[in-house]
Amino acid sequence: MIGYKHPCRYCDQLIPPQSNTCPHCGKINPLQLRCPQCRSPIQEDWKVCSSCGLALQIKCPQCGETTFFSDYCQHCDGRLAMVCSNRKCRKEQLPISGNCNQCGKPLKKLS
């Protein structure tokens, strides 16, 4: 392990600096908020990404409440990711648009 550990942004436990998932709470992207479209750093109080202009407020596919565009809903803690409806693709992704960014088919809620 190279470098100092950093706190998970969800549970504040110290984790390795290159973590994609927190080993303590199991949530993805535990280190820094990034825009789902351009991957630039963003902050929870922003309305749009300062780099690409993506709107950062979306409707949660789980509970229907408006929430910050992150990996988890601020209200129900459900994943905001959706899955491609194409049986051959099934790519899991954040709902930047209503369609899969790989094959173009409509997205649906995770089961």
pLDDT tens digits for 70-85? 889 999 999 898 999 9
Number of domains in the chain: 1
Query: What are φ and ψ of residue 2, in 5° steps?
Result: -105, 135
User: Is residue 24 situated within a structural domain?
Assistant: yes
Q: What is the DSSP code (8-state) at residue 21?
A: B
Q: Is the pTM higher than 0.95?
A: no
Q: What is the pLDDT of residue 62?
A: 87
Q: Which stretches in the chain have pLDDT values below 70?
A: 1-3, 111
Q: Which domain holds residue 2?
A: 1-32
User: Is residue 39 situated within a structural domain?
Assistant: no
- Residue 101 tokens read as 């960014």
User: Is residue 17 situated within a structural domain?
Assistant: yes
In degrees, rounded to 5, the angle at the alpha carbon of residue 110 between the alpha carbons of residues 88 and 46 is 115
User: Is residue 12 situated within a structural domain?
Assistant: yes
Q: What is the pLDDT of residue 1?
A: 47
